[in-house]
């Protein structure tokens, strides 16, 4: 893997986490925005929108580092009709714009509930479009190792795993810092359960897809044996960290008590997020490192 | 020169000695820096020795493929370029406008032949433009003119087909159906064997 791909690893991981966090945390909050405690929920929505914006802006800023001529980056939207890269940038900018509009509405308390929900819906569509077009970039006929269903699957899984765990971990950070304001029992249980489901699905996907795209066939693809051993080690570590994250989520679920909703402090979910982040980073490193064209 | 609908290269793999004069002529003509090659000569090697009784029979073979941009019918690089820096002319020549390029290197990934190459000093991509300035003057592209074995030729695709025949695929080139390359190759006699056995590019690091 070349040095030029590090910004792409950071860009894809950050963007996907932002979309997952928005879909699994912010959008459900928007749908439950009225009734008792609506002011607290609005504040939570604003904070979550701020987190999504920061993640997307950081991703966009880091993506400049992989360009040889970053000053010309504005031209990247010239070919939306046929270039998947142009489409990805279009969806990234559209998502940033829509999130900023929604955040403005929430902050100013302006716009009707329907209008706000309409923008949330459009932003959710743009988020899905972003990940889909991002995966499409790598569906190249010349690169069989990328041109399969595992590419969109793994990109969406990164979004959902890190999004769900990030959603569960973000309120846990607040609870750790302030000693109050942790997520309500039902919400926490739901997020933990969703995170566990995505972790299991991701694990199964990674294991099942390997014969088609990965480590066991490296020798035949012209990688030398030393490199193959390094890749096999990274692949093994990725699975170990995924299992660690899943185990931490299971323990976290067992700790949740309906009698004492915010206690004990959910350290475990933060550890689960860290383990899943390491696993997804290793997976993305492997994804770029396995680049090999058909033939030459 | 008369209007041509589709320019193409012809390469005779059976005559190529692998001297790389074409590669050097291209570098010289286009003033390319170290490590930047718009035309590459791949050395394909394979085979081995087998024992028959007390006798060892050699079955090793090697041949060369000189490859630049193939100015494809449906260039994957042009489709993928986000800035429309890559255009295809009416004569089939695919040209990269380096002033419009942002150096994202997506064309390098998407081209099955890896023809567009990144120039680290300039921060942009570059590729073979068929030496269209020379061709317009009725001269040959630099690589064709430099070949001492006359293994390279160029011209209108249909005319080349009539003159030489040949194929547009040879081991280890990718399937021609991906992009429809404007390329004709006379295969080396071992090329068929290489496709069936464990053979590979022997000078991978160089190319």
The answer to whether the CB atoms of A296 and B178 lie below 8 A apart is no
Tell me if B176 sits within 8 A of B17, measured CB to CB.
no
Question: Of A67-71, A131-135, A207-211, where does mean pLDDT reach its minimum?
Answer: A207-211
Q: Which residues in B lie closer than 8 A to residue A66 (C-beta atoms)? A: 104-105
Residue pLDDT, tens place only, B17-51: 999 999 999 999 999 999 899 999 999 998 888 89
Residue pLDDT, tens place only, B96-109: 999 999 999 999 99
- Asked if B123 reaches chain A (Cβ–Cβ under 8 Å), the answer is yes
**Residue of B104, B126, B199, B202 to mutate when probing chain A, most A C-beta within 10 A:** B104
The answer to whether the CB atoms of A142 and B109 lie below 8 A apart is yes
- Asked if A75 reaches chain B (Cβ–Cβ under 8 Å), the answer is yes
Q: Is the pLDDT of residue A215 over 90?
A: no
The answer to whether the CB atoms of B82 and A140 lie below 8 A apart is no
pLDDT confidence tier of residue A224, bands split at 50, 70 and 90: low
- Cβ neighbors of A291 (< 8 A, separation 6 or more) are A1, A143, A145, A146, B109
Q: What is the pLDDT of residue A232?
A: 82
Q: What is the pLDDT of residue A157?
A: 96
Q: Is the pLDDT of residue A185 over 80?
A: no
ipTM of the complex: 0.87
Question: What is the least distance, in Å, from the CA of B54 to any CA of chain A?
Answer: 32
Question: Of A66-75, A121-130, B166-175, B189-198, where does mean pLDDT reach its minimum?
Answer: B189-198
When CB atoms are compared, the residue of A78, A137, A140 closest to B84 is A78
Q: Is the pLDDT of residue A79 over 90?
A: yes
Question: Of A131-145, B87-101, B148-162, B193-207, where does mean pLDDT reach its minimum?
Answer: B193-207
% pLDDT > 90, chain A: 56
Residues in a beta bridge with B167 = B185
Query: Which chain A residue has its CA at the smallest distance from B43's CA?
Result: A296
The answer to whether the CB atoms of B103 and A69 lie below 8 A apart is yes
Residue pLDDT, tens place only, A88-139: 999 999 999 999 999 999 999 888 888 999 999 999 999 999 999 999 999 9
3-state secondary structure chain B: CCCCCCEEEEEECCCCCCCCHHHHHHHHHHCCCCCCCCCEEEEEEECCEEEECCEEEECCEEEEEEECCCCCCCCHHHHHCCCCCEEECCCCCEEECCCCCCCCCHHHHHCCCCCCEEECCCCEEECCCCCHHHHHCCCCCHHHHHCCCCCEEEEEHHHHHHHHCCECCCCCCCCHHHCCCCEEEECCCCHHHHHHCCEEECCCCCC
Report CA Rg, chain A.
20
Cβ-based neighbour number of residue B159 at 10 Å: 12
Residue pLDDT, tens place only, B106-164: 999 999 999 999 999 999 999 999 999 999 999 999 999 999 999 999 999 999 999 99
């Amino acid at each position: 893997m070349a040095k030029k791909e590090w910004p792409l690893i950071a860009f894809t991981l950050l963007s996907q986490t932002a979309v997952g966090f928005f879909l699994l945390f912010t959008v459900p909050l928007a749908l439950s925005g009225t009734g008792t405690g609506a002011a607290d929920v609005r504040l939570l929505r604003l904070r979550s929108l701020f987190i999504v914006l920061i993640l997307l802006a950081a991703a966009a800023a880091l993506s400049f580092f992989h360009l040889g001529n970053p000053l010309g980056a504005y031209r990247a939207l010239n070919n939306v009709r046929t270039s998947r890269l142009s489409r990805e940038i279009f969806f990234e900018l559209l998502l940033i714009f829509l999130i900023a509009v929604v955040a403005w509405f929430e902050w100013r308390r302006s716009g009707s509930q329907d209008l706000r929900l309409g923008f949330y819906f459009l932003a959710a569509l743009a988020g899905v479009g972003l990940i889909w077009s991002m995966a499409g970039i790598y569906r190249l006929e010349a690169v069989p190792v990328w041109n399969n269903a595992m590419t969109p699957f793994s990109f969406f899984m990164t979004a959902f795993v890190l999004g769900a765990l990030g959603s569960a971990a973000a309120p846990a950070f607040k609870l750790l810092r302030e000693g109050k304001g942790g997520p309500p029992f039902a919400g926490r249980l739901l997020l933990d359960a969703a995170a566990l489901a995505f972790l299991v699905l991701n694990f199964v996907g990674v294991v099942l897809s390997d014969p088609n795209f990965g480590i066991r066939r490296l020798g035949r693809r012209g990688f030398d044996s030393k490199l193959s051993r390094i890749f096999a080690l990274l692949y093994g570590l990725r699975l170990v960290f995924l299992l660690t994250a899943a185990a931490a989520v299971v323990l976290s679920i067992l700790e949740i008590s309906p009698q004492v909703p915010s206690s004990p402090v959910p350290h475990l979910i933060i550890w689960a997020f860290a383990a899943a982040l390491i696993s997804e980073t290793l997976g993305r490193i492997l994804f770029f490192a396995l680049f090999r064209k058909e033939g030459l | 020169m008369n209007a041509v609908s589709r320019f193409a290269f012809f390469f005779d793999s059976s005559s190529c000695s692998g001297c790389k004069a074409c590669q050097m002529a291209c570098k010289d003509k286009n003033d390319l820096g170290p490590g930047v090659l718009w035309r590459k000569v791949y050395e394909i090697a394979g085979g081995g020795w087998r024992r028959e009784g007390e006798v060892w029979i050699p079955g090793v073979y090697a041949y060369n493929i000189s490859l630049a941009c193939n100015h494809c019918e449906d260039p994957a690089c042009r489709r993928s370029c986000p800035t429309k820096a890559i255009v295809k002319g009416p004569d089939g020549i695919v040209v990269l406008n380096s002033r419009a390029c942002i150096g994202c290197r997506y064309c390098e990934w998407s081209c099955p032949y890896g023809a567009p190459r990144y120039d680290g000093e300039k921060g942009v991509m570059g590729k073979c433009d068929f030496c269209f300035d020379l061709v317009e003057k009725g001269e040959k592209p630099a690589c064709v003119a430099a070949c001492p074995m006359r293994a390279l030729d160029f011209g209108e695709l249909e005319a080349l087909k009539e003159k030489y025949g040949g194929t547009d695929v040879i081991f280890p080139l990718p399937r021609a159906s991906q992009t429809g390359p404007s390329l004709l190759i006379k295969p080396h006699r071992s090329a068929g064997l290489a496709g069936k056995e464990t053979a590979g590019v022997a000078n991978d690091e160089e190319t």
